[in-house]
Structures are given as structure tokens and as C-alpha cells.
Structure 1
Amino acid sequence: MRNLFHFIVLLLATLVLAPAGHAQSGPGTQIVRGTVLDAAAKAPVIGATVVVVGVTPALGTNTDADGRFRLTGVPVGRIRLRISSVGYEDLILNDVTVSAGKETVLDFSLTERLTKLDEVTVTYKRGEDRTVANNEMATVSARPFSPLDANRYAGALGDPARMAQNFAGVSGANDSRNDIVVRGNSPASLLWRLDGVNIPNPNHFGTQGTTGGPVSMLNNNLLAKSDFLTGAFPAEYANALGSVFDLRLRKGNDEKTEFLGQVGFNGIEVGAEGPYSSKSKASYLINYRYSLFSLLKAVGYNIAGTPEYQDFTFKTDLPVGPHGTLSVWTLAGRSKITFLGKDVDSTKADTYGNENTNSRPHFSTGIAAASYEHRFNDRTLARLTLSASRTTQEFEQDTILYATTGRRVLAAIPNSYADFTQDKLSANLSMTHKLSARDRVSAGLIIDLLQYRYGNGLTYPVRRIERDANGTTALSQLYVQWKHRFTSELSLNAGLSASRFELNGSTVAEPRLGLQYQASAATTLSLAYGLHSTLQPLLTYFYQTQQADGRYARTNHDLGFTRSHHLVLAYDHQLADNLHLRIEGYHQWIFDAPVERTASYFSQLTEGVDFAPTNKGNLVNKGTGRNYGLELTLERSFARGYYFLLTGSLFESKYKGSDGVERNTPFNTRFAANALAGREFRLGSQGNTFTISLKTATTGGRFITPINLQASEARRSAVYEYDRAFSVQQPSYFRADVKMGYKINRARLTHEIALDLQNVAGTQNVFLQAYNPRTNAIGTAYQQGFLPVPFYRLTF
């Protein structure tokens, strides 16, 4: 680790010093430009005023016929913007970063007033863009976030999923993966959406049927403001039980060519963006990233189980006539790793490896989409998106036979294999119509054609084929949504979604309803209900179970949707211009969860955080569960050089298997608390800044199933006491992270250097316990220890 750290530091120093020698002094100013649109109709707002607050002389402009604005001579650093227009509510942004190496391009949405200007009081809370979700139909449990947050927060590593672990009601599954547990739900209940497309797991080493992995394929440098929803979400989100990541890719700069180079935890990357020509508003955005560990291996730094991965992202936006836009994007990644048993420390359990096996997993994911958006008039907008994706997972494992003494390997016998490929072709048609300042309606149809090829089984010491399937099926969704503003203070969001799974004809209908009341200038009360449903991972339907006559059958074929009632009550109070308090209470009733046909502890609600699929047959939709809790968020948005985020959650997460016994889910930590704070110091007159971010996180311990050591010794393999499933709680988890960064603005370029000190106190948090047949003992594996992660980015 010391050699690795020294190599990275040397590389960063070389990158920083090389371009600095050619830079001119004095970064001066930068351009800030963008577009202002009507929030409901997405039509341009003409003549809107955009002003930089607090600078002398005054700096401002107005939007043109396309809603575009352009501010020149904006000083580098943090600025405050006010956007206003007659007939619309004002919008204020306190935390706009202006850098020397890159133009600042922003897109704003203004909400139309219901009353005359002199009859309404405009408050900061209503105009603060940071607290307003992109999706206007979201009433509660919707957290907008900026990609800057994933860079700013200590411990986030530029990963949206790790960043979300700071939010109320959210906790991480473990330090080595970015799976997230939301309100006690399985990580597999999360829906990933990118630019309106429901996408497969966007993580390297991401197993089919899960939603996380060790390293994200999503590139934080390419994301725009996005939404994270944790309950009772709008009708357009189907096939999601617990939470939704609704991500958006930003547009490339359509006026100036810009470049990026970066080194960090996620790898070494290069990127570019710009217009195709000076005469066109068409733009592109492209980025390639390569595993830092693979590069280190190539230059002689060998690491046991070296993760090798690479990913590629591309987007282009092309104007089509005066009212249309064509967007094409692709996201692709490959990853592989090899674990050799002889390299595993036999004195303890290992997070990934096992001294008795060799494992060789390979993963790949590719997604491509083309979207055409057409604005028929200032009230009606339609969008058609066609997309395709492919995910593959290959796995080979050997059983290692050692000599009777020592660790000399006698033989490595193949014992299992997997070859999973899933393709999806999707069509997504949506339309939004603004009836008036009070009413907006939207509707959509999503059709997914799914093609699968699954094969996996055991070859030693017994031979068994667990899956052998090749075919097609389809999932379709139809939804309609309506937002009505009774007054400036009271609004209603209502919707209905219906889905059908063609494999077995399962059909569900899901009503959604939300009310929001502005009780005072600073206080908002919200109440929302939703019925939500999700399919099982497609692999589950094709697991084969041996019957009494010796033949194998797909006993999970007829599984339907797992369903859940969500009820959420929220209180939001703006304590000051930059400080707000939010309290949410929720109850989630889950039913129709897959459990075993005969009496058993098992439920699909306990699965979804692993590198292997669930291998259970004879499942029926008769399980139940319940999650309920209280969440608190106290947040100070960035202003006057600092910010903080304090969150706390008290909750319970329970389930019942087919034996009728109510148990803790493995995700029931019962409490979670996070404290995050950051400070920025301006250094010198060139806009250089030093930042420091501190984070502490604590949760209750996970509930695990105990191992019967005596029975394990007799069988020479782990024997679990399933009648006591999830009855033993691990010790509480605690971790502290510190991140320090320095931004250097030169003429026409910006350096950003940072050091993220993960688990700075070196706390030993229990990860798992496992039985080792060679040592005849139960070993304990711990979460990540102290890890310094250097970071460097250059934009020009």
C-alpha cells in the first residue's frame, strides 16, 4: 500500500507541475451562460433577467428568444445568481462555482405564478433550486443533488451512490461496495434511470439481480442535477419498490472545446466536449476511464486480486429544426478480477476471496439510447426514446486441493460455472401538456423487450445444471400523471401506473397521490401515498429445482410482482435563508414477497447484496414485510464559505418467511446518523481555494445468522442455524472521513488536487464471519481500514 501511495503522489505531482510552467498568471474572469425554461412546459422564458448578486459594478443580462442568456466577465470563485421574470416565481442559487478552466453552463426552470406579483410573498425556500426536485410530480422523499456533491463530500469518491449514503434514511451495505439500503429495503429494490431510460446495474463487477458494485461506471464529471427518491414516488417510476436514482447527463459545451484529465479512485480518465463547428449548436461529450490498479499492475505494482476495468461515455445533442432536439448517448464498461486461493490469508475470513477456491469473474455492460424531443408549442412537449442494453456475467471457480501439510496446491478442480447474458430493447414515449398555470398532465408508455441466455451449474463434487434458458419476454408500463395547484399554497399530485410481465401474465395497477401545503412563508407540510411493485430479478424465474421423479423444473416461473404500500408524512421548515429542517415519517407495508413453498425462514426481501444470484426454487408470492421509521435532516446549503448536513434515522425493518415468524431483515440496523461539514478558504486574488470536508457516520450493527461451529466441524463446511436466522446483531458501525482539496486557477485552466482520507481513525468494523474448514475455526473479516485516496483533475 505504501508503494502504491507513493506512486500515485509522484504521478499527481508530475501532472500538476508540467502544465503549470506554461500557464499565464491571473485567471481573470469566465463566461457563465445557459437557458431558462418554463418548469411545466419546458418552453423558453423570453426576457428573463439573470443577475449576479453582490458584485460591483452590476452584472446581469436577459434571455433571448430561445431562453438563452450569456454573462461575460464573471469573477472566478463562488457567485450567487438571481433569475426573475414577470409572471414567474424568482429563482435564487447561492452556490454557483466559476472556474478558470471551464465555462459554467447552467439550465434553469421557473415556476409560473398563480397570482399577481403584489399578492404573493416570494420566499427563499420556494426559490432555492437546490431543494426542488427535477420531477415536479414528486411530493415527498425527493432529494435533488448536484454532481458537485459527489466531489465535495468526504468519502463519496465521486460516486452518486456513495454520496447518497449521507442522506436521511440511507445507509451503505458495506465499505467495499456502493450498494445502498434505503429505509430498510434490500439494495436490489433500487431503480436506476439515466436520461429517462431504465438501465441495468451501472457498476463495475455488478451482478445481475443487484444494483451496486465496488466501482461506479457513472462518470460524475458528465452528470447534471439529478434526483434521488426514497418513497411514494410518482407514477412514471414503475418496477421499483424502495428507491429511485433518476440521473441526467449534461449537454456538452456548444460554443467552446474543453478538455479534462483526471486521476482518482475510479481510475485515470480523459475527456473532451465542445461544438462540432462554430456555426452549429450541436455538441458532443466524450470520456474514457481506465482502472488505475490495472495501470499499476502493468508497471510492476502487483496486487492480489487486481481489479481491472474500463468504461466509456459519449453523448451528443443535435438541434432538429426550431422545436426539436435529438440526443444520442452510450455508456459501456468491462471489468474482471481473479482471486487465487493460495493468495488468501487463511487466518481470517476474506471479504471476497476464499483460500479453498480460485474465482475468475468477468462482467460487461453496454447501454445506448437515442431520444428525440419535440416542442409542439409553448404548452406541449413530447419525447420518444429508443434504447438497447446488454449485460453479461461470466464466472468460473475451482476447488483447491492442498497437501496434508503446508499450503502446497495439489490440484485445482473446476467446481462451478455461470454464463449470463441479458439484452433489452426499449421504447419510451412520453408527453407533457400544460393546461394552465394550475394544471399540468403527463402520460407515457414504456415497452421493454427482454432477451436472455442463462446457463450455470455445479461440476464438482456433484454435477447439476441450475439454469439453462434461452428466450424472450416483455415488460410494459403505462402511466398518467396530473398536477393541480389549487392555490399558491396547496397543490395535488396524482397518478396511476399499470404494468404487465409477459413471461407469466402478471399484471399490476398502482395508484399514487400526494398533497403539499405551504402553511406559511417558511413551512411546508406534505402527505403522499403510493402502491409500488417490482419484479424479481429475471434470473430468479429460471432457477431449476429437482422434483420427486428426479427431473428438474423451473418452479419459480409463475412468480408475480412484490408489492408495497408507501405512506409518507413530511414537515419542511426554512429556518433561515441557507438553513432548512426536514422531518419525514413513513410506513411501508410489503406483501406478495417470494418465500419458499414449505415452511422456511427465507424471503427475497433479505437478498440483493452479493456477487452471486439467489439460488432458491419453489418460491411463491406469500411473504410479507414492514418498514417504518422517522428521519431528520438539518442542512445548511453552501454560503459564506461553509456548509453542513446532519441526518438521523430511527427505523425498523421486519419480514416474515413461509414459517410465519417475524424476523429482522439483515438491513435492520435500527438507527443511522451522519454528520457532514465543509469549509472553503479563498487564497490570494486569483480565485484559488482550499477546502476541507469532514464526515462521520454511524449505524447499528447488521443482523446475521449464527454459524453452528460443532456441526460445521463435523461437516467440514459452514452450517448455519436457520431457525435463528438474522437473530444476532453485529457491533455498531462507525467511520470518519476527511477530505482536503486545493483548486488552482491559472489562465485558461484549473488544477484541482485533493486527498480523501477514508476511515481516518482506522476503526475496525465487522464485515462478516465465515467458517474455515482448514483451520476449523470461525474467522472475522473487517471492513475497509484507513485508506488515503489522492485525486487530481485538470480542466482547460
Structure 2
Amino acid sequence: MYIGRENKSCDMEVIKNMRRLSHFMLFSFITLTVSAGQFTGSIKGQVVESDTKAPLPGANVSILNSTLGAAADNQGFFVIADVPAGSYSLQFQFIGYQKVVKTDVIVKSNRVTTVNAELRFAVVEMQGITVTGGYFSETDAQAVSAINFSNEEIRRSAGSHGDVSRIIAVLPSVAPSTDQTNNLVVRGGNPGENAFYVDNIQIPNINHFPTEGSAGGALGILNVDFIEDVDFYAGGFSSAYGDRLSSVMDITFREGSRERLAGQVDLNWAGFGFVGEGPLARQKGAWLFSARKSYLDMVVRAIDVGNSIAPRYGDYQGKIVYDINQNHKLSLLAVWSEDANRADKQTAIENDMVVFMNQDIRQNTTGVNWRALWSVNGYSNTSFAHTMERFDEEAFDTGTEDLLMDNDSRHHLFALRNSNHFRLGPSGFIDFGFDGKLAIAQFHNFYGEQIDPAGQPLPPLRVENKSRATLMGGFFDYSLSPVEKMTIRLGCRVDHSSMNGNVQLAPRSEFLFRLSPLTMLQASAGLYYQQLPIELLSKNKDLAQLKSTRAAHFILGVSHLLTESTKFTCELYR
């Protein structure tokens, strides 16, 4: 059965048109910032222990190459006031812990910049030299195939245009399937094998104009102004992440300002955007909201840019944080997007399109996460979220105007996720938790007569189907350091799918050995499983019996700290 070739062709036409316009749009932009005309701002944040999230009172926070700094209070919070507008590096230190340096901290006039830090134990000392995290501490929890990016690194990355997928695409282990899309191929996998999490909530796709059943699209949805940092795992990721074979992108959104109302308006050739933030009552939390809307269609009508068709898209994002008390916090997350493309035969002829398409695509994920500090030795995160995807698409042959495809699909995903982390003595940790998903999909699809790759005609096909599937999983990890230089992590994950009734057992392990204060040997091995997309399994009842796809990861690497701010890493992957 050959289904969806015309759909893919239409998607590529939409993406090409968007890319042509984006090159034109870069020539000019205007950014308006709503703020007072002062020349100093402030830096605030919280310093906590990485393994337990417990505050580190008295931690020293200083701006490098200056005399400015502060000490954290009893809850780990700090404020550095009257900082001249500019770019800085912020250093965090606490006795017995690895120091952390946060680069590219941007201070704006009359604005509060939030910078949080997590410090780890400094466990190795040799000949008076203390091994410190410095600039590379964020991904020490998983040293194999892991990298961290800050908000400013994403914003200023050449060619990324603030799109987090674009900066990931240039990593050695990653390549886009084409230069027109955000379809990431990680170490030979396919784009549907990548997972995306925002604040402990999984989002199936973080791109506009997505391909149904996959995780790619034309351009990113997430607003870079919301992103605090990104952890990307290109393999060997822990058993806390299931139902994916290739990679995990774990994104943290920042909180809104707890001191004052603030806003920013962005206006450029692509469209209009707004970011607003402010405190909740009695400073028990904060809210953050953004809305962006393109008006490329109006630009195309007003100016000759060599193209007479322009897709329309918009997105809306929000985060509300509420402190129940000093140990319990609720955060509400919403990420919504809408995409539309309209064309007719005349427009298709003007733009040399073999197929023209009408599209109306909507995605939204809304969820809540509860973070609890249970003691000085552990914490947990529990989230519940709902994702809705709607695809209304029609494709026509430009020459004959015959209907090639009519896709009317609805997807609902309900997800519950829990993860717990506890310290067991001075050198041991356990991680455990569970996740459950309920997927409901409804399809009303028509595929016109086509010619398959072998040149044989295929008759028209109509699909009317409603499917339901559950996926349940649990995980357990144990980390210990039997000797000063060595860390061993052993874990296992169990998953069950209602579609095929299979139970998968996925053991995983990681080994770290510090050869010297500056050099570390790293190894990882594990099994990974992924359920086939419900879009495929629902086409035919016999397909539901297909087994989940499987991958085995074997990674061996070495990293060496050339300087405090320069790190060399080499990995072998199979």
C-alpha cells in the first residue's frame, strides 16, 4: 500500500515557500521593548544542590571581572542590584561543591534577569587540584552524548533564528533530513524517534506545519524568550525516558518576573509578537505569556518577493508558577499553535507547483506539573497533560484539479508522568517513577488513485477509523560511586502497549571513570523500544500485531578539559 506521497510533496512546497520568504525577511527588523529609560538592571535567582534541589544558603554569586556579587539567603535566593546593562559571566561557588559559571547573562535596562544554578559535590581532589564543573557542569548527570545550551546560546547562534532545533541540527551526531525542515536525524534514526519534553511534560511535536505521525516540521514553535536552558541527549539516555529510540530534548522554561510587570513587542517582516510577564498576588508565583502571528500573506501581496503564496502561522505559549509553600510548587504550561495554507490552481501555476494544497493544522499541549521537595535528600516531579492535534488537509493535482488526498484527522493524548530522585548515603542515588499514556485517534481520510514506485496503479482508498491505545511504563535507576574516581549507573525500564500486548524490558547502564582531574572515560549501553505510530497501526487491524521497534545503543567516549572554558569530547557509537 502506497499512501501519502502527494501529501509529502505538498508539504515540501509549503516549506520551500516559507524558506524563500524567510531569506527575504532577514533584511530588516524592528524590536520594541517596553521599559523605562534607565541603564542598569538586576540579576536574581536561586542556588540549589543539583541532586536534591535543596537550597544552598550562603552560596557565593559573583559577576566575573567585576566587584559585583551577592550571597544566597536561607532559601538559596540572591539578588545583585544596579548592574550596568550588558553581557556578563556569573560564577556560583559553595564550599564542597563544584563551581558553576553561567556565560552570556544579558542584563537589560530596568529589567530583572533570572539566573538559577544547580551545584554538584566536588568529589575528586588530586595533588591540591580540585575538579570543578565550571562551564560544563549542566550535563554531568549523564556525561555520555549529552550537551547543554543556554537561552543566549540559542538566541545568538548563527543561522538558527532562535529555533532550538536549528542549533541542535549542527551537532556532530545530528543532521536535518533536508535543509528545508526541522526533521532531525540523530545517529541514523528518523525524526519520529526523537522525544521533546518541556518542564517534565512531553510535547509530541515542537514545529509548525508538522508531518502527521512524525516529530518534524517547517520551523519551531517554542519562543526562545521562554527557554532557560536545553539538555540534549543524542543516545544512551536514562531509563526515565521511554518510547523513543534516537534522542531526547529536555527543555526548561523560565519563570516570569516576580517583581514587576514587564513586556516586549517584536515586529519584523515575518510577523508580530508579544511577551508579557509579571507576579501573582503576594508574590506567590509568576506568569509568563507570549503570542506570535505571521502576516507573510500581506507582505507577499504588497511587495514582489518572487513568490505569490505565503503560509500563515501563529503560536501562543504560557507558564504560570504558584508556590504552595517553600517545598511544593505547581506550574501550568500551555503551548498552542495554528498553521494554515491556502492555494488554488492559478496560484500553483504561478509558483510552478505540481500539486496545490489547503491546510488547517492545530496543535496544543496543556499540562500541570507538581514539584515536591520531600527532604534534604530527595524530590519528585509529577505531571498530567493533554495534547490535541487536528489535521484538515486537501491536495489537488495542478493540471487536472483532481482530488489527490483529503485528510481529516483528530488526535488526543492524555499523559501522566512521575519521576523521583533520592540520595542514598554520600555516594549513592536512586531514580524511579512511572508514566502512562492514553492515545485516541480518529481518521476520515481519502487517497485518490496513484501510481506506486514500481509504476503500478493503485485504486482510490478511503479510511474511516477510530483507534484507542494505552502505553504504560516504569523505570528504576541506581547510581553509586564505589571508589572516588568511578561512577556506575544501572537501570531498567518496563513498558506495555495495548496495541500489540507486548511487554518490553529495557536494561541500561553507564560507566564513568576519571583518568585524571581533567580527563574522563565514559561508556554506555542499553536497549530502547518504541511503539509504532497509531497513524500506521490504525490503517489495518493486522498491522496492530506488529512488534515495537527496537534499538541497542553502545557508546564509548573520552572527554578532556583543555581549559576551564574549552572541552574536547570524542565518542564511538554503534
**TM-score (normalizing by structure 2):** 0.89
Deviations 1:437-464 (A, max 9, x none): 3111111110101111012122458864
What's the counterpart of residue 555 of structure 2?
568
Q: In structure 2, the residue corresponding to 1:533 is in which secondary structure?
A: strand
Question: Could you tell me which of 39, 42, 52 is aligned with 1:31?
Answer: 42
Aligned to 2:537: 541
Read off the aligned partner of 1:75 and give its amino acid letter.
P
The match for 1:253 is 257
Match of 2:294 in 1: 291
- 2:229 equivalent in structure 1: 225
The 3-state SS of whatever aligns with 1:539 is helix
Structure 1 unaligned spans of 5+: 403-411, 545-553, 588-796
Give the 3 Å change call, closer, same or farther, for CA 451–578 of structure 1 in structure 2.
Answer: same
> Match of 1:127?
133
Deviation at 1:159, TM superposition (A): 0.6
Deviation at 1:430, TM superposition (A): 1.9
Query: For residue 40 of structure 1, what is the aligned residue in structure 2?
Result: 51
Q: Which of residues 62, 65, 78 is equivalent to 2:74? A: 65
Task: Tell me how far apart the structure 1 counterparts of residues 295 and 426 of structure 2 sit (CA, whole Å).
Answer: 52
Structure 1 residue aligned with 2:508: 512
- Write out aligned runs for 1:635-674 (5 A): none
Structure 1 CA distance, aligned partners of 2:415 and 2:569? 37
Q: Does 1:419 align with 2:408?
A: yes
Partner Cα distance (1:318, 1:311) in 2: 24
CA distance in structure 1 between the aligned counterparts of 2:23 and 2:525, rounded to whole angstroms: 53
Aligned to 1:305: 309
In 1, distance between residues paired with 2:374 and 2:163?
37
Q: 1: CA distance between counterparts of 2:234 and 2:337? A: 27
- Call closer, same or farther: CA 1:80–1:151 in 2, change over 3 Å: closer
Give the corresponding residue for 2:176.
172
Match of 1:280 among 280, 283, 291: 283
Of 480, 486, 492, the match for 1:490 = 486
Distance 1:533 1:4, change over 3 A: closer
Residue 5 of structure 1: how far off its partner (Å): 9.3
Could you list the per-position Cα deviations for residues 475-531 of structure 1 after superposition, in whole angstroms to 9, with x for gaps in the alignment?
111011122123442112221111111122122111110111111121111011111
Q: How many residues align?
A: 548
Q: Which stretch of structure 1 is more off in the superposition, 517-526 or 35-44?
A: 517-526
Q: Distance in 2 between matches of 1:6 and 1:226?
A: 26
Which residues in structure 2 correspond to 1:729-768 (within 5 Å)? none
Counterpart of 1:726?
none
Q: Is the 8 A contact 2:492 2:508 kept in 1?
A: yes
In structure 2, what residue type is equivalent to 1:568?
Answer: I
Provide, for residues 406-465 of structure 1, a one-character-per-residue CA deviation record: whole Å limited to 9, x for no partner.
Answer: xxxxxx332321111110111112221112331111111101011110121224588643
Q: Is the 1:29–1:76 Cα contact (8 Å) retained in structure 2? A: yes
> Structure 1 residues 270 and 559, CA, compared in 2 at 3 Å: closer, same or farther?
same
Report the counterpart of residue 420 of structure 2 in structure 1: 431
After TM superposition, list the pairs within 5 Å mapping 1:102-121 onto structure 2. 102-114=111-123, 121=129
Query: What amino acid is aligned across from residue 556 of structure 1 in structure 2?
Result: L
The correspondence for 1:503, drawn from 475, 484, 499, is 499
Other-structure match for 2:64: 53
Q: Distance in 2 between matches of 1:456 and 1:6?
A: 35
| Corresponding position: 1:358 with 2:356 | yes
Instruction: Pick closer, same or farther for the CA change 1:396–1:9 going to 2, 3 Å.
Output: closer
Equivalent residue letter for 1:84: Q
> 2:266 aligns to what?
262
CA 1:99–1:23: 2 relative to 1, 3 Å: closer
2:235 is paired with a residue whose SS is: coil
Q: CA deviation at 1:213?
A: 0.9
The answer to whether the Cα contact below 8 Å between 1:4 and 1:301 also exists between their aligned partners in 2 is no
Q: 1:98 aligns with which of 100, 107, 110?
A: 107
The residue aligned with 1:586 is: 573
CA contact (8 A) 2:104 2:153 kept: no
Residue 445 (1) aligns with residue 430 (2): no
| CA distance in structure 2 between the partners assigned to 1:283 and 1:570 by the alignment | 42
1:735-765 Cα deviation digits (max 9, x unpaired): xxxxxxxxxxxxxxxxxxxxxxxxxxxxxxx
Aligned to 1:750: none
CA contact (8 A) 1:305 1:340 kept: no
The residue that corresponds to 1:156 in the other structure is: 160
Judged with a 3 Å threshold, the aligned counterparts in structure 2 of structure 1 residues 488 and 266 are, in CA distance, closer, same or farther, namely: farther
Alpha-carbon separation, structure 1, partners of 2:292 and 2:136: 29
CA distance in 1, matches of 2:64, 2:267: 35
Amino acid across the alignment from 2:76: G
Q: 1:211 aligns with which of 194, 212, 215?
A: 215
Identity of aligned residues (%): 21
- Change in Cα spacing, 1:466 to 1:563, as seen in structure 2 (3 Å) is farther
Contact 2:97 2:119 in 1 (8 A): yes
Contact 2:510–2:523 (Cα < 8 Å) also in 1: yes
Structure label with greater radius of gyration: 1
Structure 1 range deviating more: 71-80 or 335-344: 335-344
1:83 aligns with 2:92: yes
Return the alpha-carbon distance in structure 1 between the equivalents of residues 463 and 491 of structure 2: 39
